[in-house]
Amino acid sequence: MEGSNQKNAVIVFTVAIVIISWFIWVIKKSRKGSVQLPPGPRGLPLLGNLPFLQPDLHRYFVKLSGIYGPIFKLRLGRKVMVILSSPSMAKEVLKDHDTTFANHDVIVSALIATYGGSDIVWSPYGPVWRMLRRVCIQELLNNASLDAGRALRRKQVLQTLGDLYARIGTQVDIGEKITETIFNTMTSTLWGASLKGEEASKVASEFRQVMGEMTVVVGQPNISDLFPILTRFDVQGVQRQTRRLMSWFDRIFVSILEKRMKLDAAPGEENEVKDFLDILLKLKEKADPKTPLTMTHVKALLLDMVAGGVDTSSTTLEWAMAEMMHRPETMKKVQEELDAVVGKDNILEDYHAANLPYLDAVVKETLRLHPPNVFLIPHTPSESCIVGGYTIPKGSGIYVNVWAIQRDPSVWDNPLEFDPDRFLNTTGNKWDYRGNDFRYFPFGSGRRICPGIPLAERSLNYVLGSLLHSFNWQLPKETKIDLADKFGGVIKKLNPIVAIPTPRLSNPEIYTQLLTEV
């Protein structure tokens, strides 16, 4: 009996070994034929890596890329995120497989905030998107249209200089003043010829308030984007808040459009100065019936430019002022260039920019160290694709860590040093914003590169140059500049810059003349 039991045990043990060996062989064989996803840290069931995310995502991702390499993945709920941290990986996605990654990874609140994705940012790649891009590039942002709006932008910048002159010797929150200037400059370019005086100021004030709320709502993490099954429940109330703000936006747009219609109908009221709204309404009337430019598209494009332009541009200029106040010799060098080109008895005009290479280098270096959209706008592949030897699943969110690439010591000499000369002393390389060099592409690259680059370039250089040409800036006593940042929709300064302006033009009458011009 005992011998029989031992024999049975041996048989059971042998069978078990055979089954286990077969199971291991099947697993290994299946893995050889299965897709190989990028490496990454292990997560928890259902939640994935969500509980382990750190507040400063840009730095957290740099830490992870040091462990897993220039391409790695995270799982956030049901969502796969792929993070790219090298020029070669960025090139594969944004150039080599540009068509596959031509769509942005849409979030629920963004769809609501853009009339169902009727804008150029969130519209899917296809005929409508191509029509919208053509409108932006060929009609709105060409040199002729930008030149036509010069007087509108100039008026807003002169208003800022006049306001600052009235506050000589007092402390000014530079970031706040820059945001107000960029906002007024942007909205003036978009619809400034349609509204006048107090009415224009009232609309601008209301729009800025709503835009601030919208930025917070759309920028907050939404669990519905990670677990789509929860979208219908709106657990955090993000959709509800976004719809409330969009109804407010729509009311403002309707008001602006009504004013515009009255202006067009009034005899003898033809505007010499053309704003973007004027151009868009004319394009709407003669649009291609196959892919028409609708009034919804018009409103979505206007909202795109304000939402995409104000926060990023004002943040960039605040960083530029912070870096120069941290390195006063750089500010002095910019002012010397301004004095040589413009003189101290004149006001800077935006056409002076072509002769101000050092000012341009300061803006470029600011965008290198402090790109406003640190991960660009996340892309998503329309089909599974091989990148860096790994399979990127269809529908993944692709985050290109521009912040890390533009600070990479293997790419840049002394990468953490603010040195505008690196954009002047170059051999065989012309640094620009076109996204052809994947060491430097603060506005993205490929089909979905930011279409607003021409307007941003003019506005950044003009506003920054005007602040530095007309005023000296000093910190209050016993105050030091800190360069700490905080992660959000864009990476902003943690603490605002407060500084004291003093006049530097040769004649005080130049400043008083500003007030009469506006």
For residue 158, what pLDDT is reported?
94
In a domain, 16, yes or no: no
In a domain? residue 19:
no
Percent of the chain with pLDDT strictly greater than 70: 90
Residue 7 confidence (pLDDT): 44
CATH classification at residue 239: 1.10.630.10
d(C-alpha 202, C-alpha 33), whole Å: 64
Residue 24 predicted with pLDDT over 50? no
Is 3 inside a domain boundary? no
3-state helix, strand, coil in the chain (%, to 5): 55, 10, 35
Q: Is residue 264 scored above 80 in pLDDT? A: no
Q: What share of the chain in percent tops pLDDT 90?
A: 71
Confidence of residue 426 (pLDDT cuts 50, 70, 90): low
The chain-wide mean pLDDT, for the chain, equals: 89
In whole angstroms, give the CA distance from residue 318 to residue 475: 14
Task: Tell me, yes or no, whether 7 lies in a domain.
Answer: no
Q: For residues 417 and 363, is the Cβ–Cβ distance under 8 A? A: no
Q: Is there a domain that residue 447 lies in?
A: yes
Q: Which domain holds residue 410?
A: 35-517
Tens digit of pLDDT for each residue in 98-147?
999 999 999 999 999 999 999 999 999 999 999 999 999 999 999 999 99
- Please give the pLDDT value at position 10: 41
- Residues 285, 277: Cα–Cα separation, whole Å: 13
- pLDDT, tens digit, for every residue of 154-167? 999 999 999 999 99
Pairing of strands 397-400, 79-84: parallel
Amino acid at 495: N
In a domain, 257, yes or no: yes
The secondary element (H helix, E strand) that includes residue 391 is: strand 390-392
Indicate whether 201 belongs to any domain: yes
Lowest mean pLDDT among 185-194, 196-205, 237-246, 284-293: 196-205
pLDDT tens, position by position, 156-205: 999 999 999 999 999 999 999 999 999 989 988 998 877 777 777 777 78
Please check whether residue 277 is in contact with residue 194, taking contact to mean a CB–CB distance below 8 angstroms. Answer: yes
Kind and range of the H or E run holding 82:
strand 79-84
**Residue 129 contacts by C-beta under 8 Å, 6 or more apart in sequence?**
120, 123
Residue 89 inside a domain? The answer is yes
Provide the domain count of the chain: 1
